[in-house]
Structure 1
């Protein structure tokens, strides 16, 4: 989806007119129209303002082929399911099920594995095989890698 389509969708979802959005970011209604029609793209300072108005990351506003994954569970991330930090801002590293208001839902690998094996069993695998499958996957993710490294260094 193009930046213009993303902006138009967000604006319409917020029940805003082009004129109302233009007023909020101190531009003309025509500027908003040009963004939405793909004739121009907002500058960096306006992208930051738009991200705050709509509660999305700047990346989410830009046409980006990059697919983000939650660094805790590995789920593909879209703006609507991103977690929030303590300040209530979107944290593009985590999904809302793994992090809410800066607090992690899963702080122990076994806790996460119990959830995954129970709620997302892998067809054809026993519970132990499923647990091993998920363990290998999770330990590749930054959140769990860091936790394992910290635990290893404390054990030494």
Structure 2
């Protein structure tokens, strides 16, 4: 994904116009348009400002082969589905379904497992086997490490 596409997705997710973003980083609306159309790339100083405005790292703004995953459910992340903190800034660690306005939707492993088993059953697995499959997946995610014991939720 190009830097321009990433910037547009972040701006759209933040419900800002090009003019509003331009005001925040002290450039013209046309400069924002050129970035989003991949005609130019913001300089280092502007990348720092943009990362602060959107609450993401600079590498998240640049074309990066790194694929981010929600630290709670494991879903692949792109800027348009990232959750937001209490200040309304994008949190690049979580999806909007796991983190809403700075509050975690799933605070107990069983809540997340109930959702995963009901929403994404695995073909050929019983409900118990599906639950065990997702439990082993969740234990590897940063949000759930330490919250799940090796024999719980299976």
Identify the TM-score tier after normalising by the shorter chain: 0.7 to 0.9
**Residue ranges of structure 1 left out of the alignment (5+ in a row):** 150-156
| 1:3-82 equivalence runs, <5 A | 3-7=3-7, 16=18, 24-27=24-27, 35=35, 40-51=40-51, 55=54, 57=56, 58-82=58-82
Q: Does residue 112 in structure 1 map to residue 112 in structure 2?
A: yes
> What TM-score does the superposition give when structure 1 sets the normalisation length?
0.73
Considering only CA atoms, is the larger Rg found in Structure 1 or Structure 2?
Answer: 1
Partner of 2:144: 144
SS at match of 1:87: coil
Structure 1 residue 93 displacement after superposition: 0.8
Count of matched residue positions in the alignment of Structure 1 and Structure 2: 146
Q: Distance in 2 between matches of 1:107 and 1:56?
A: 23
Structure 1 residue 11 displacement after superposition: 7.0
Q: Does residue 90 in structure 1 map to residue 87 in structure 2?
A: no
Structure 1 residue 71 displacement after superposition: 0.6
CA deviation map 1:110-139 (0-9, x unaligned): 111111111111000000000000000111
Greater fraction of residues in helix: 1
Contact 2:9 / 2:80 at 8 angstroms: preserved in 1?
A: no
Q: Distance in 2 between matches of 1:27 and 1:88?
A: 23
CA deviation map 1:54-111 (0-9, x unaligned): x463444211111100111000011111111122211111111111122111111111
Q: Distance in 1 between matches of 2:8 and 2:34?
A: 11
Partner of 1:154: none
> What TM-score does the superposition give when structure 2 sets the normalisation length?
0.74
Change in 2 beyond 3 A, CA 1:100/1:35 = closer
Change in 2 beyond 3 A, CA 1:117/1:61 = same
CA deviation map 1:18-51 (0-9, x unaligned): xx86555334677557645656532343124335
**Residue ranges of structure 2 left out of the alignment (5+ in a row):** 150-154
Higher relative contact order (CA 8 A, sep 6+): 2
Partner of 2:2: 2
Q: Distance in 1 between matches of 2:5 and 2:89?
A: 23
SS at match of 1:116: helix
